[in-house]
Amino acid sequence: MANPVLLSLEPRASAAADIEWLTSLDPVIYEAAVEAMDARVAAILDGSAPEAVWLLEHPHLYTAGTSAAPEELIQPSRFPVFRTGRGGRFTYHGPGQRVAYVMLDLSVRGRDVRAFVHALENWLIATLARLGVEGKAHDGQIGVFVGEAKIASIGIRIRHWVSFHGVSLNVDPDLTHFAGIVPCGLTSPVTSLAALGINADMPRVDAALRSAFEETLGPLSANWSRAP
């Protein structure tokens, strides 16, 4: 039977011709998203599918990365908790948050995981700039911040040099839900575009993500260093 998650994806033309851009209009159950990513990574590895970027939202849940500590789950009964193979610690996913899963072949992109993470940060920073927000990367921390408040998280996994999982950007989620965890192991506050007074719906955010993608991750960009 065809995967219903894959059937819910709507192909869109990417700024990078060799990368398929996908958007799910309805929230995607996390377990189904992981299954779909596993299938896509396998297809990229065997040459039957191109690289892909997948934009979606999830229903409410907490996810625990490979570095998550049990004591960082403060309210275990608040939402379902999914332990996943991505890097990082605990984070929240839910409505109002744009998740972008990146299934890219790093074997043709330098095989440098650290540089790839910095490129993802640069992508988010460039996206925020298009929305009128100055985002920054903080030394020693992964993700993107506005001042001291975190607005975007990164958690990836690499399989045979193909990436999956990806980034999440807080557009207009209920920020109180982050109180159920120590997000990413940090005590710094969490913010969103809405909390910053930015009127940006998902189509506008998606347009900014797509516009910024080639600048930082597409085939025309060879510079994967961290933005200043």
pLDDT digits (tens, 9 = 90+) for 36-67: 999 999 999 999 999 999 999 999 999 888 88
% pLDDT > 70, the chain: 86
Q: Is it the case that residue 150 has pLDDT exceeding 90? A: yes
| Active-site residue, selected from the candidate residues 131, 184, 190, 208 | 184
pLDDT of 197-218, one tens digit each? Answer: 999 999 999 999 999 998 888 7
| Domain boundaries 4-216, corresponding CATH code | 3.30.930.10
Which of the four pLDDT bands, split at 50, 70 and 90, describes residue 160? very high
Length of the chain counted residue by residue: 228
Q: Is residue 25 within a helix (H) or strand (E), and if so which, with residue range?
A: none
Is residue 143 annotated as a catalytic residue, yes or no? no
Average pLDDT of the segment spanning 189-193: 95
Is residue 166 classed exposed, middle or buried when 0-12, 13-18 and 19+ CB atoms within 10 A define those classes? buried
Which of the four pLDDT bands, split at 50, 70 and 90, describes residue 184? low
Q: Tokens 């997000």 belong to which residue? A: 183
Decide if 149 contacts 133 (C-beta within 8 A). Answer: no
Task: Tell me the average pLDDT of the chain.
Answer: 86
